[in-house]
Amino acid sequence: MKRQWWHDKVAYQIYPKSFYDSNGDGIGDIPGIIEKLDYLKDLGVDIIWLSPVYRSPLADQGYDISDYYEIDPRFGTMEDMDRLLREAKKRDLYIVMDLVVNHCSDEHEWFKKACADPEGEYGQYFYLRKLEKAQAPVPGSGLETEYSVCSPDGYVLPCNWRSYFGGPVWEKLPGHEDWFYLHVFHRKQPDLNWENPKVREEIYTMINWWLDKGLAGFRIDAIINIKKALPFRSYAPDRADGLCTIGRMLQEASGVGEFLGEMRDRTFKPHQAFTVGEVFNEKAEELPAFIGDNGYFSSMFDFSETVWGSSPAGWHKNKGITPDDYRQCLFDTQKKVADIGFISNIIENHDEPRGVSRYIPPQDMQSMDEEMRLTAKKALAAVYFFVKGLPWIYQGQEIGMENYPLQSIDEVDDIASLDAWKVMRRQGVSEQDALRAIERNGRDNARTPFQWSAAHAAGFTTGRPWLQVNPNFTKINLEQQVKDPASLFRFYRDLIALRKNPQYSETLLYGSFEPYLADESCILSYLRRSSGQTILVLSNYGKETRTLPLPAKAKKILLDNCPGRDLPVTDRKITLSGYRTVVMELSGGRFF
């Protein structure tokens, strides 16, 4: 693996709408981000990914872009964006934007032109089809295809794929009776036709325009979806709606690499940009092509634990993840990625519930006292932080923000949650159970405003926040944690400092990864080893005290999530109270 400028960095995701509101309108904005750059610098992060701030109707919170060259006025102006780039540069911070090019908004001018003339140039920018109404199937007419589905007014759709946000992927083209367009996400997100070289040119021009402006790179949204299995066809339905998941089609689509390689060569590579792909459904053998030395992307996210236990039947059927399952996911990824490239490690993002509410068993979270809950949050942080790859922190993770306690479906903004609600209710799941499932899985959990302080609206805005603040803000907020030497925020600062400490960084960045005590339930442990140095991360990821063997004599404790407390350790053994986690340098000799 070739060494890259970004390997020793720590990355941070900002969800601008909920980060910091500088003008009191209840919506976070770019000037708000600029005000907080010193905070991020103090935390120790280097790369900052902004979820979309482009002009957008915000049907999917900015992942529906109506102008790639403009900033949405709710977030600020292009001058604000330029200022952000300058201010970031002054502080050696790198700004990465979201690149959303599987689809645009139905309010983008390309789509408006396509609607005006579906057979014209812009019609080719999208997947448009002129359809016919179903007739009574005549044997041999070709209309009796196995799984065909119709629009509500009887047009036979080209395929039965279910959009990620519910319903068929085909929607009537505004202003037309018999023309339809494809959207694998929301109906306000028409898919761009990547098969059309003109579309690809438009996209590359736009990417280069932003990189020339001084952007460090992109997080690349939903990118696997750009390659469709064509011609359109239906697959066996997987729910009573007669539709099938997009994932089924993606298994069959081949050739995405040609688009991705072209995009890399025309844009990212000449700029030495940093890119991180949102890649689901990749095939294991494709990893070198994705993140190897000449990969399509610099890195990609590991979603193995986020998708773990998810059920196609609906959110109420999703399984909770145990510490041992979580460990398995981490270790499997490490094994799979090995030295191929640098994976991006997360415990949450804007599409996921809060990490501490998911990866610490909820029954533990409920039954532990404040102190042990904090210890557990630190344990999770330390365990994911030192596996090989680039660690990402999602806003609020560093202060241990938790899932939002939902009272009613009326509080929900997220379109994916609203669809999940419909799916569950249609299946007869009770309101209470459906609500609890949304509380566990919903995307709003990560989107509630950042809890800066115990002041009005958690110090996020002087106005009325666009999404309700988590009521625990009086207890969980940054202002209080900055003052408290034992806080999670301070612990995150220590984690970052340790990863960057030149005495250990070679091992923590490039050292081999070796599972340790992988058969012990609720022990999350591994070794990082380089020539001449071994670092052990050892976490008792459960409530009970455990005495564990050490693989070699401890040389130095580098980090302890219960500092100041007695740590019973002998040459060969260590005793860890519930969720206690240590990172230590080991001496050269091994016991076994």
For ligand GLC, the binding residues (CB under 6 A) are 60, 63, 100, 185, 221-222, 278, 350-351
Q: Which of 29, 46, 171, 221 is catalytic?
A: 221
Compare residues 60 and 305 and give the one whose CB is closer to ligand GLC: 60
Contact 524/546 with Cβ under 8 angstroms?
no
The least CB distance from residue 62 to ligand GLC, in Å, is 9
Compare residues 164 and 541 and give the one whose CB is closer to ligand GLC: 164
The least CB distance from residue 278 to ligand GLC, in Å, is 6
Tokens of 492: 């995150």
The least CB distance from residue 17 to ligand GLC, in Å, is 12
Distances (CA, A) of 518 to 301, 354, 386, 522: 23, 25, 16, 9
Residue 535 CA from chain centroid, whole number = 28
Cα torsion 459, 460, 462, 464 to 10°: value is -130
Compare residues 345 and 534 and give the one whose CB is closer to ligand GLC: 345
Contact 110/62 with Cβ under 8 angstroms?
no
The least CB distance from residue 280 to ligand GLC, in Å, is 8
The least CB distance from residue 276 to ligand GLC, in Å, is 12
Beta bridge partners of 128: 181
| Residue 126 DSSP label | B
Q: Which residue is nearest to ligand GLC (CB)?
A: 63
Answer whether the bond into residue 231 is a cis peptide, omega within 30°.
Answer: yes
Compare residues 66 and 334 and give the one whose CB is closer to ligand GLC: 66
The least CB distance from residue 2 to ligand GLC, in Å, is 28
Residue of 290, 283, 224 lying closest to 256 (CA atoms): 224
3-state secondary structure of 530: strand
Percent helix / strand / coil, the chain, rounded to 5? 35, 20, 50
Tokens of 415: 């379109």
Compare residues 402 and 419 and give the one whose CB is closer to ligand GLC: 419
Torsion 71-43-340-5 (CA) sign:
positive
Compare residues 80 and 278 and give the one whose CB is closer to ligand GLC: 278
- Collect all residues with Cβ–Cβ distance below 8 Å to 434 and sequence separation of at least 6: 316, 409, 420, 421, 424, 425
Compare residues 306 and 375 and give the one whose CB is closer to ligand GLC: 306
Beta bridge partners of 83: none
H/E stretch holding 431 reads: helix 431-441
Q: Which amino acid would we find at residue 433?
A: D
The least CB distance from residue 135 to ligand GLC, in Å, is 36
Compare residues 8 and 351 and give the one whose CB is closer to ligand GLC: 351
Q: Any idea which residue has 């002054």 for tokens? A: 90
Compare residues 102 and 534 and give the one whose CB is closer to ligand GLC: 102
H/E stretch holding 96 reads: strand 94-99
Query: Which residues in 270-406 belong to E strands, given as ranges?
Result: 274-277, 299-300, 344-345, 390-394
In the Cβ-directed half-sphere of 346, how many Cα atoms lie within 13 Å? 24
Answer whether the bond into residue 16 is a cis peptide, omega within 30°.
Answer: no
Ranges of H-type helices in 501-574: 505-510
Compare residues 60 and 560 and give the one whose CB is closer to ligand GLC: 60
3-state secondary structure of 137: coil
Q: Which of 21, 60, 278, 364 is catalytic?
A: 278
The least CB distance from residue 449 to ligand GLC, in Å, is 17
Compare residues 17 and 129 and give the one whose CB is closer to ligand GLC: 17
In the Cβ-directed half-sphere of 552, how many Cα atoms lie within 13 Å? 17
The least CB distance from residue 156 to ligand GLC, in Å, is 27
Contact 21/32 with Cβ under 8 angstroms?
yes
CA distance 499 to 576: 23
Residue of 344, 304, 346 lying closest to 327 (CA atoms): 304
> Is 221 noted as a catalytic residue in this protein?
yes
The least CB distance from residue 210 to ligand GLC, in Å, is 18
CA distance 467 to 446: 11
Residue of 266, 180, 254, 191 lying closest to 222 (CA atoms): 191
Q: Which amino acid would we find at residue 107?
A: E
The least CB distance from residue 220 to ligand GLC, in Å, is 10
Q: Which amino acid would we find at residue 580?
A: R
CA distance 530 to 502: 13
Q: Which amino acid would we find at residue 206?
A: M
**Which residues are annotated as catalytic?**
221, 278
